[in-house]
Structure 1
Amino acid sequence: MTFRVDLVAEEVVRKFISKRGTDLAYYSEEKGLIKSGLPKQILIIDPIDGSRGAKIGFPSCVVSVGVAKYKETVKLKDIFIGCILDLMDDLCFYAERGKGASVFDGEKELEVSFSKNRSLDSLCWSLEITGRPSKPIFDLLGELVDRSSLAGGVFTLASTCYSITRILRGQLDAFVDIGNRMLKEFPHLRPEFLKAGKGAVVGLFPYDIAAVSLIAKEAGCIITDAYGRGLDDTLMTNSAEDNIQSLVAANSKALHREIIDFIDLKFKELKKSECYKGESN
């Protein structure tokens, strides 16, 4: 779903780039792939990740830009610069491949700081449900929500970039988006995904992860899909349904492993349940 604030932000990006007359390509949520001249680089841009927060003045909204050398098939592993800027304050997250990640509050550099929590019982995490059918997601993750909601905390911030960058500030321990794995494992849920997405399957698109994946990994965060597999081969200029991803990010290998093991176990249990038995891949 596109809000007016998204269209305004996209137009600001278009004007900013076109005014400079630079040979450049960019790919964004609303515009798709735009090329000018003979581009040597491509920007993967989400002008507003967290549109729902932006339109009500809630802080969970950012600008996200990833940079790669231009070629016909750009993948996540080709992103060599990532930058994310909070829209409601001066926090900026920046990384260059192989050079680590930096966090700035205005001109002041801050330390990357992970929480020390490694327990699911006190997990402080963000769960993505926007445009996904909530019932099957809570069928799988409901136990983890119940385990962690009191001693830790469960948030639905509707912004992948905002959520994962809060791990780098030590505010959150993890971020989880199982939507795409849920659809792959249980394809009979497709009508529910279409209903929740108002006629389209909604999930994690390339512009959602282009910058934040590099920044998180350079900072030392563990980030994979919801199977525990790498995301490096994700195509950056393809927003088709078959390129939608799932994602689990955590503050450490140990906690990431705990979360993936929990998800794997719950998928096995769901496949044996009466509601899901015989309908899975």
Structure 2
Amino acid sequence: MVFLSLIREAAREGAERAIEAIKLGTAGSVVGKGKGGDYSLQGDVASEEAIINYLRQHMGNLRVISEEAGELSYGESPAYTFIIDPIDGSRNYKRGLPFFAISIGVVEGETLDDLVAGVVYAPLLNMEFTAVRGQGAWLNGKPIRVTSQDDLANALVFVGATPKAVFLPQVYALMLTLRGSVVRSLGSASLELSFVASGGVDAYIDQWGTMRVIDVAAAILIAREAGAWVKVRGSLNERGAVSLKEKLAVIAASTEKLGKQLEAVYREALNMDFTEMFYAS
């Protein structure tokens, strides 16, 4: 629980700086490009600096994987890696929408299977999702659990959106095959996965292979600790070393049965005739 207290406070430090930028009207100002390749907003940079500074003050040795700063090591042979997204949902943040979060995951080892603690904090929603490996998951300090939904036709599903035009036919095809379900998208993968954990929705899917480790590391642990069935496919392999460069595809569901149905629907979408699908009724 020591790590949980540490990253909770670090997330709040980052949130404070992000909200300051909103009040000053500088939140959406572009100040360069981060190591992850995306344009960096003033709010992203301010939040990240606050988080890393806080962690360095309280940890002698640590490794950081973060959106803006990239991969950094402090001290000798750090045993723990802190995977940070200072603002997940930057487009929402820039436009003043509340669907963004500060995400911090702690890895003791090299893979996502080695996650030991995580926090996803949405300050404008007043929602703090947390988890510790083997101990469970919480929302604002109260235990959370996934739903028991195992029928895709009755499920509420978050579908991860992608800005890459090359994937738009697949996204549309997936939407068509999910017509029996209620489909939503928030634009923040960490929040969407966390809502699966809390039972707010039944499943989440993003199979485009463009997701970064920093986006979902903490939320994957939160979902698993809340009882979700989670399948991660990486650009290296499922047990590949976590890095800023690795891209992921994720399915999370309240039950394995529901997750398998969602997988099948995705495969069906891939087999659709994209030249005809825009005329489907």
**Cα distance in 1 between the residues matched to 2:190 and 2:56:** 26
Other-structure match for 1:252? 255
Tell me the alpha carbon deviations over residues 120-158 of structure 1, each in whole angstroms, 9 at most, x when there is no partner: 23321211123232532234303234332xxx3x22211
Output aligned runs, 1:35-54, within 5 Å: 35-38=73-76, 39-54=78-93
Contact 1:177–1:226 (CA under 8 A) maintained in structure 2: no
TM superposition shift of 1:214? 1.4
User: Residue type of the partner of 2:198?
Assistant: R
TM superposition shift of 1:223? 0.9
Other-structure match for 1:207? 214
User: Residue type of the partner of 2:118?
Assistant: G
Per the normalisation by structure 1, the TM-score is 0.74
Other-structure match for 1:237? 243
**Cα distance in 2 between the residues matched to 1:44 and 1:206:** 8
Work out whether 1:62 is the aligned partner of 2:101: yes
**Cα distance in 2 between the residues matched to 1:130 and 1:29:** 18
**Cα distance in 2 between the residues matched to 1:110 and 1:260:** 31
**Cα distance in 2 between the residues matched to 1:69 and 1:114:** 26
Other-structure match for 1:265? 268
TM superposition shift of 1:165? 0.7
**Cα distance in 2 between the residues matched to 1:137 and 1:235:** 28
Other-structure match for 1:80? 116
TM superposition shift of 1:164? 0.9
Query: Could you say what secondary structure the match of 2:130 adopts?
Result: strand
Contact 1:206–1:235 (CA under 8 A) maintained in structure 2: no
Tell me the alpha carbon deviations over residues 231-281 of structure 1, each in whole angstroms, 9 at most, x when there is no partner: 751432232xxx2111111111111111111112332x33xx3759xxxxx
Per the normalisation by structure 2, the TM-score is 0.74
TM superposition shift of 1:16? 2.5
Other-structure match for 1:162? 191
Other-structure match for 1:221? 228
Tell me the alpha carbon deviations over residues 86-105 of structure 1, each in whole angstroms, 9 at most, x when there is no partner: 2213322222222222222x
Against the structure 1 CA distance between its residues 80 and 20, is the aligned structure 2 distance closer, same or farther, given a 3 Å change threshold? closer
Query: Could you say what secondary structure the match of 2:138 adopts?
Result: strand
Residue 127 of structure 2, aligned match among 84, 88, 91: 91
**Cα distance in 1 between the residues matched to 2:171 and 2:238:** 28
Other-structure match for 1:136? 169
Comparing 116-125 with 245-254, greater Cα deviation is found at 116-125
Against the structure 1 CA distance between its residues 120 and 7, is the aligned structure 2 distance closer, same or farther, given a 3 Å change threshold? same
Against the structure 1 CA distance between its residues 155 and 274, is the aligned structure 2 distance closer, same or farther, given a 3 Å change threshold? closer
Other-structure match for 2:55? 17
Identity of aligned residues (%): 25
The structure whose residues are more often strand, as a share, is 2
Query: Could you say what secondary structure the match of 2:217 adopts?
Result: helix
Contact 1:226–1:260 (CA under 8 A) maintained in structure 2: no
Other-structure match for 1:8? 46
Question: Structure 1: 5+ residue runs without aligned partners?
Answer: 181-202, 277-281
Query: Could you say what secondary structure the match of 1:225 adopts?
Result: strand
User: Residue type of the partner of 2:135?
Assistant: K
Output aligned runs, 1:118-129, within 5 Å: 118-129=150-161
Contact 2:136–2:143 (CA under 8 A) maintained in structure 1: no
Provide the aligned length of Structure 1 versus Structure 2: 234
Query: Could you say what secondary structure the match of 2:179 adopts?
Result: helix
Contact 2:177–2:269 (CA under 8 A) maintained in structure 1: no
**Cα distance in 2 between the residues matched to 1:140 and 1:215:** 29
* Superposed CA RMSD: 2.5
